[in-house]
Amino acid sequence: MCLLLMSLLMIPLVVGCGGGGDEKPAEAPWLNTDCGDNDADCDSATTADDCDDTDPSIYPGAPEVIDDGVDQDCNGHDAITCTGDYESAYAEHCAIITGTLTVNRDGSLPLLHSLEEVTGDLIFWLSSMPSLTSASIDSLLYVGGHLGIYGEDLNHPLNSVSFDSLSHVGGTLSFDGNSALTSISLDSLTDVGEGLTFAHNYALTSIILDRLTAIGGTLQVDFNTELVDFSFDSLTNIGGLRITDNSRLTSFSLEGLSTIGGIVQIWGNDSLCQSNVDSFVSAMEALGWDGGSMTSSNADC
Ligand SMILES: [Ca+2]
Ligand SMILES: [Ca+2]
């Protein structure tokens, strides 16, 4: 009888026949019932949402392993390396682009959901995207070339820019000619290889970069007519400094700055006290800086 059962049924009954007692049948290792009937692999994604409920490294929003042929984040595709220059409409699922990326079509930014790195320049053509009000790529970590947001003084409606995971820009980083831009969020940015420019942004009132430590080129803050203050207190090294014609600017804070590679130009800021500018220059001279300065025509106070 027992042999018959062995041939017809599965392992649990065989164990019972063997006279070995009441051992619980072995379970597949991923079937951890402690997590409930709707989450077999205990990754907190329910069976209905999890595209692989036998693997806890796979669930909606999971970190992707690039080019492994496996869809870890359950968006239907692996994240891949894309070789060459791309336009945003054709860059969906690219995690790494080994060339330039041009963002030039309204509605195409969500396609960049997997993008982590662009080895060349990342260019936004705002004139081709007249409806874009928010520019955000949350997954972006690294841009090897230049990154620019150029509104070209065209009264473009773009009002916020957010690259909250971006830590490094190898070339220049520029925000220039944006008439409606009020919010710039670069919470992870630590270094810019060449210059960092904020110029002709006529609605920008404040800039705070908490993690930025080094700028290879000049920090340039020019003609931001509503800008009241900016603060880059973790910044230690810059190639040069230029702050001009920001008519409402009353203060700037560069508390950690120890090295300026070149000239300091601070002039034409109608609300910035000349005495504070002079104090800043004296403090830098005390640190050994001798790169020369042009610091006049600020507020008489
Ligand atoms: Ca899973
Ligand atoms: Ca993958």
Would you state the pLDDT for residue 208?
86
CA 51 to ligand 2 centroid distance, Å: 13
Instruction: Report, as an integer, the average pLDDT of 98-107.
Output: 95
Q: What is the pLDDT of residue 33?
A: 56
**Greater model confidence, 23 or 130:** 130
CB-CB contact of 264 with 294 (8 Å): yes
DSSP summary character for residue 36: -
Task: Parse the chain into domains and list their residue ranges.
Answer: 121-294
- Point out the ligand nearest to the CA of residue 52: 1
From the CA of 55, the nearest ligand is 1
Q: Which ligand is nearest to the CA of 57?
A: 1
Tell me, what's the pLDDT at 21?
Answer: 39
β-pairing, 251-253 with 191-192? unpaired
Give the number of whichever ligand sits closest to the CA of residue 77.
2
What band does 8 get if pLDDT is binned at 50, 70 and 90? very low
Instruction: Give the distance (Å) from ligand 2 centre to CA of residue 294.
Output: 53
**C-alpha 31 – ligand 1 centre gap (Å):** 11
| Segment 291-300 mean pLDDT | 94
> What is the distance in A from the centroid of ligand 2 to the CA of 95?
10
Mean pLDDT for the stretch of residues 148-176 = 94
Quickly state the pLDDT bin for 264 (edges 50, 70, 90).
very high
Report which bound ligand comes closest to the CA of 81: 2
DSSP 206-220: EEE-SS--EEEEEEE
C-alpha 13/C-alpha 250 separation (Å) is 83
Q: Provide the pLDDT for residue 31.
A: 53
Rounded CA separation 92/264 (Å)? 43
CA–centroid distance, residue 191 to ligand 2 (Å): 29
Q: Which ligand is nearest to the CA of 40?
A: 1
Higher pLDDT, 17 or 107: 107
| Ligand 1 midpoint to CA 55 (Å) | 4
Distance in Å, CA 109 to ligand 1 centroid: 27
Question: Mind listing the pLDDT tens digit for each residue in 135-155?
Answer: 999 999 999 999 999 988 788
Which residues make beta-bridge pairs with 202?
none
What is the separation of C-alpha 281 from the centre of its chain, rounded to a whole number of angstroms? 33
- pLDDT at position 110 is 94
The pLDDT value recorded for residue 37 is 77
Distances in Å between the Cα of 265 and the Cα atoms of 127, 128, 175, 258, 268 are 32, 35, 19, 17, 10
Does pLDDT of 11 surpass 70? no
pLDDT digits 0-9 by tens, 36-68 = 778 999 999 998 999 999 999 999 999 999 999
Beta-carbon contacts of 60 under 8 Å, excluding residues fewer than 6 positions away, are 45, 49, 50, 51, 73, 74, 75
| Residues 149 and 124 sit within 8 Å (Cβ to Cβ) | yes
Ligand found nearest the CA of 69 = 2
| Confidence band for 13, pLDDT divided at 50, 70 and 90 | very low
Spatial CB neighbours of 230, under 8 Å, sequence gap ≥ 6:
198, 206, 207, 208, 221, 249, 252, 253
Question: Given a cut of 90, is residue 14 above it in pLDDT?
Answer: no
Distance 66 CA to ligand 2 centre (A): 5
- Nearest ligand, CA 72: 2
